Amino acid sequence: MSPAQHGHGPWNGVRVLDLTGLSGAYGTRVWAALGADVICVEPPGGNPIRTMPPLAPGHAGPEASLWWAYYAASKRSVVLDPTDSEDAASLVKLIGTADVVLDDAMPVAQEAYPWLADMGQGGLGVSGIVERYPHLTWVSITPFGMTGPRRHWRSSNLVAWASCGLASTVGFPHGPPLAPAGEIGVLMHGASLHAVIGSMMSVRARNQAGAAGEPALGQTIDLSLQEVGLWLSPETGVPLYLDDQVPRPRAGNRRPVTSPMGMYPASDGYVAIIAIQPAHWNAVAQWVHELTGNEGILDEIFIDIVVRREALEAVDAWVEELTTRFTKQELFVEGQRRRIPITPVNTVGDLRHDPHLEAVGWWRPEEHPVLGTYTVPGSPFTTDGDWWAWQRAPMLGEHTDGVLAELT
């Protein structure tokens, strides 16, 4: 795989170095899929994502992680050991060829990389790098940012959820806070996606300045996982202050705005229902009445969402009398026919065989010399142009020789 294979994407000609683990992996995947030449600089043992389970059945070693197969798609792999003087020199040269570098090392490391000392930079870290390569955009993704009293605190995806306050809003009213979104690093995905936005804008601004005859300078971009989480979270962000800092209790799998609004049990799983508009509520009430003979639910007083919120437990119980009698697919089909906003809560298995996703061709096959053929998700959006470049994830060090040869 070479940069030429990225030639039809809108970011063809841009080189991005990925020095990160999970906190930058999704963002650099987006860069690569849109045509940039993304090079993962890996230590001799490989990127930590290569060891993340689940592993492909029957496989072991640096190519077995299914996370790596997904996150590293369309990227190149170069193995360099910064503690080796020759590799350190190659890394500095490689950085000089890049337009963007993403780094998730702790601030103390980014401020004084020892491998820069041998290059006459005095171990000045990021400041020395950008001084030497002013065209470069350097993106730092750290737990609490590059400045401030907590800049040296270590973190994780879970710590980031807790520190931004969002974990306090997830869970049931009388239970403990819960980690959002299961085992995946959604907040790290959010940070890396913001890194993509910031670095793409930086490259665009640099190119515009150069075209106008002005200095074509890159940017240093500082992302804090805590601040990104606070930006994303409405419960702990600005609305909290608009509500005069009134604490919001955990709401479980329902939303106490009105009823029905949230997750409701079906005979084989759950469905999500939201009935705020009068027409939606009337349709739900009529369906419950037809099925259970409930006359009270037809009372016009319940058209008011405030009334339904005050009678939330009773209304939820009435709705559950309906939902528990059908499968989630039956509820979906009949609910849609009645123009009620309702949808199944899909499992991974449901999605893999979802007729809509199959019809639009969203899933696509991918070939790998070790893992064989497997199915992966398609693009998050489509365009009239052919923007997306899809290649398999690289094997460890697969492109080291080729990339280093480009530096000579």
Verify that 7 and 142 share a domain, yes or no: yes
Q: What pLDDT does residue 3 have?
A: 43
Verify that 179 and 305 share a domain, yes or no: no
pLDDT, one tens digit per residue, over 228-259 is 888 887 666 666 556 656 666 788 888 878 89
Verify that 130 and 206 share a domain, yes or no: yes
Residue 198 φ then ψ, to 5°: -65, -45
Verify that 15 and 163 share a domain, yes or no: yes
Torsion sign across C-alpha atoms 127, 198, 11, 19:
positive
- Going by the DSSP 8-state scheme, the letter that residue 55 receives in this structure is B
Residue 407 has pLDDT above 60, yes or no: yes
Identify whether 239 is part of a domain.
no
pLDDT, one tens digit per residue, over 362-398 is 998 999 999 999 999 888 888 888 888 889 999 999 9
Q: Provide CB contacts within 8 A for 6, sequence distance 6+.
A: 12, 32, 35, 36, 37, 74, 389
Q: What pLDDT does residue 122 have?
A: 53
Verify that 88 and 34 share a domain, yes or no: yes
Identify whether 401 is part of a domain.
yes
Which structural domain range is residue 13 located in? 3-234+362-406
pLDDT, one tens digit per residue, over 66-82 is 999 999 999 999 999 98
Verify that 273 and 385 share a domain, yes or no: no
What is the CATH number for 302? 3.30.1540.10
Residue 45 has pLDDT above 80, yes or no: yes
Identify whether 247 is part of a domain.
no
Q: Does the pTM of the predicted model rise above 0.85?
A: yes
Verify that 295 and 387 share a domain, yes or no: no
Identify whether 381 is part of a domain.
yes
Identify whether 198 is part of a domain.
yes
Identify whether 37 is part of a domain.
yes
Identify whether 32 is part of a domain.
yes
Verify that 226 and 300 share a domain, yes or no: no
Verify that 275 and 367 share a domain, yes or no: no
Q: What pLDDT does residue 169 have?
A: 82
Identify whether 288 is part of a domain.
yes
Q: Provide CB contacts within 8 A for 47, sequence distance 6+.
A: 21, 40, 68, 72
Q: What pLDDT does residue 186 have?
A: 79
Domain count, the chain: 2
